[in-house]
């Protein structure tokens, strides 16, 4: 019997091995280059201009390819959606063209702001434009999640309706003489959003570290990398939600600890497969099919169904927060089935009960131990030992940034952790740097700045003293930066921030930033 995480993998292998969505498809890249990239003639004309430095060329490439991309979005709206809306209702159009209208609106504003940033005495520089559009670009997570379904639905509609099929072909001929199909053109937005950090990386490399825009361009590049990673994880989790739903549908009498059949509250499916299990107070060993989620181990029994679909009946479940996993050193093997001879011990922390899991091979045993250990560690992260925050793994409904590093918490399932007391949200790896929990927050919240710290040129993000000193050594006296201290606060009055200031030719001073007891102001 094939495991669900193998049997139900999507073609891009997202749910199987944790790799990112495959954005390097040759066909899709060729379509993108054909529709958005600079043509060779414009490249040669730009290169031959003596007034153009390489940095200017990269900027021109960014603007021109953005203009070409907006043309693609506009064409999808006017040359495809327009003719098709006479034959399809709005719900059908949304299935084929997910969020295309919204993307066209966003990129119309984005291109206007980019062009405006290049004008003399512009109030907003190019790097800031990217930072301002960091959140609007998150819509691509939904677009990329729906893209494969959109292409499949388009193919199904064209197959069933000859009029629609002929109309789509006519639209393709009118748009680009039929060289590209609509399904190919629909992949362009996914390709474009993943090009921004590459274009910004080229621009950073062509910009002197002493240039006024260097630091802000670096931050813009990091922001676009963060957006790309967010989109990858949303896409991966969207595919994973389909698998979780299929697991739920396969267990006809699922009832989890009185919470019914809502599997989503237990997180991602980490591992599944066949094993034997024996409770220590019971001499009987049972063959079970098991599912390991972030929070729970579910035991089911396979049913013999002639349809070929895997169907199970629910038998038992165990909240992993109550257990620890150990490798059993017993040499006992199962009497009638010696295949299951590699053992793991699943013991309650209270010491009341324990189970032995029997696996077929050493590799299988190690795989199950790894999955169970990772699940238990995610429920009690080691970083919690460095802080008094009451952290719990959490699923956030809306895009959320980490309190420590200001990057997005990624995905759609258990994106990060939230303190049950003060409600701060962080990545697992950032927990140890969150400092002390403010267990008695003031009744009136402090005023909130309408801009992220990361949008300011003087904010350097997570940075140690040595790196800050290196950054400032070639700057003018009086130059400063605000940074997040990697070690975090060490007392109740300290914040996670420090100010590094160049006070003399060879002197860099580092100052911790403290907070008054009222919680309203910093010193």
Place of tokens 């699940």: 375
Give the pLDDT score at 447: 52
Average pLDDT over residues 414-438: 93
First and final C-alpha spacing in the chain: 63
Helix (H) or strand (E) holding 222: helix 214-250
| Number of independent structural domains in the chain | 4
Q: Which residues contact 481 (CB under 8 A, 6 or more apart)?
A: 458, 459, 460, 463, 468, 471, 472, 499, 500
Give the pLDDT score at 5: 63
Are 27 and 68 in a shared domain? yes
Domain of residue 371, residue span = 263-379
In a domain? residue 520: no
Are 343 and 280 in a shared domain? yes
Q: Is 251 a residue whose pLDDT tops 50?
A: yes
Average pLDDT over residues 107-134: 96
Average pLDDT over residues 457-486: 83
Give the rounded percent of residues in the chain with a pLDDT score beyond 90.
62
Per-residue pLDDT tens over the stretch 3-36:
666 544 433 333 333 334 444 478 899 999 999 9
Residue 455 or 175, more confident: 175
From the CA atom positions of the chain, what is the Rg in Å?
28
pTM as predicted: 0.78
Are 103 and 67 in a shared domain? yes
Q: Which candidate, 378, 196, 375, 387, places its Cα nearest to that of 290?
A: 375
Q: What is the CATH number of the domain that holds 476?
A: 3.30.505.10
Average pLDDT over residues 129-153: 96
Q: Which candidate, 114, 147, 134, places its Cα nearest to that of 229?
A: 134
Are 62 and 184 in a shared domain? yes
Rounded to the nearest integer, the mean pLDDT of the chain is 85
In a domain? residue 257: no
In a domain? residue 438: no
Are 356 and 396 in a shared domain? no
When pLDDT is cut at 50, 70 and 90, the band that residue 164 belongs to is very high
Are 302 and 368 in a shared domain? yes
Least confident of 1-15, 303-317, 489-503: 1-15
In a domain? residue 327: yes
Least confident of 181-185, 401-405, 491-495: 491-495
């Amino acid at each position: 019997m094939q495991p669900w995480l193998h049997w139900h993998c999507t073609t891009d292998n997202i749910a199987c091995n944790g790799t990112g969505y495959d954005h390097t498809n040759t066909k899709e890249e060729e379509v993108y280059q054909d529709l958005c990239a600079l043509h060779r003639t414009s490249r040669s004309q730009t290169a031959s201009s003596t007034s153009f430095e390489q940095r200017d060329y990269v900027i021109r490439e960014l603007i021109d390819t953005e203009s070409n991309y907006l043309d693609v979005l506009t064409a999808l709206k006017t040359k495809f959606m327009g003719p098709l809306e006479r034959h399809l209702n709005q719900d059908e159009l949304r299935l084929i063209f997910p969020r295309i209208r919204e993307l066209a609106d966003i990129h119309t504003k984005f291109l206007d702001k980019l062009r405006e940033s290049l004008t003399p005495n512009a109030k907003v520089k190019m790097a800031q434009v990217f930072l301002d559009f960091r959140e609007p670009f998150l819509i691509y997570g939904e677009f990329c999640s729906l893209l494969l379904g959109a292409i499949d639905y388009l193919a199904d509609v064209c197959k069933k309706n000859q009029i629609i099929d002929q109309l789509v072909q006519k639209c393709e001929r009118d748009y680009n003489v039929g060289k590209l199909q609509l399904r190919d053109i629909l992949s362009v937005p996914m390709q474009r959003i993943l090009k921004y950090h590459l274009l910004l990386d080229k621009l950073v490399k062509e910009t002197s570290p002493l240039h006024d825009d260097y630091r802000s361009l670096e931050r813009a590049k990091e922001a676009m990398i963060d957006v790309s990673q967010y989109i990858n994880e949303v896409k991966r989790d969207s595919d994973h939600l389909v698998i979780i739903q299929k697991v739920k549908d396969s267990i006809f009498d699922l009832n989890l600890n009185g919470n019914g059949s809502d599997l989503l509250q237990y997180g991602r499916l980490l591992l599944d497969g066949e094993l034997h299990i024996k409770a220590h107070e019971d001499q009987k060993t049972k063959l079970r099919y098991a599912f390991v989620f972030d929070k729970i181990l579910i035991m089911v029994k396979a049913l013999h169904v002639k349809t070929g679909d895997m169907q199970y009946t629910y038998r038992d479940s165990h909240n992993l927060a109550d257990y620890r996993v150990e490798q059993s050193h017993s040499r006992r093997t199962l009497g009638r089935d010696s295949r299951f001879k590699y053992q793991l011990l699943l013991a309650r922390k209270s010491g009341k009960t324990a189970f032995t899991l029997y696996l077929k091979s050493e590799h299988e045993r190690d795989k199950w131990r790894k999955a169970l250990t990772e699940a238990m560690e995610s429920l009690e992260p080691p970083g919690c030992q460095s802080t008094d925050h009451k952290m719990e793994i959490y699923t956030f409904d809306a895009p959320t940034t980490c309190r420590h590093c200001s990057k997005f918490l990624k995905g759609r399932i258990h994106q990060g952790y939230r303190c049950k007391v003060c409600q701060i949200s962080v990545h697992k790896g950032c927990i140890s740097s969150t400092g002390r929990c403010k267990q008695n927050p003031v009744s009136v919240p402090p005023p909130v700045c309408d801009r992220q710290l990361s949008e300011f040129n003087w904010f350097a993000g997570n940075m140690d003293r040595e790196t800050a000193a290196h950054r400032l050594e070639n700057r003018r006296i009086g130059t400063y930066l605000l940074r997040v201290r990697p070690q975090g606060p060490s007392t109740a009055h300290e914040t996670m921030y420090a100010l590094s200031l160049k006070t003399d030719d060879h002197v860099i001073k580092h100052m911790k930033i403290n907070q008054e007891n009222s919680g309203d102001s910093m010193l």
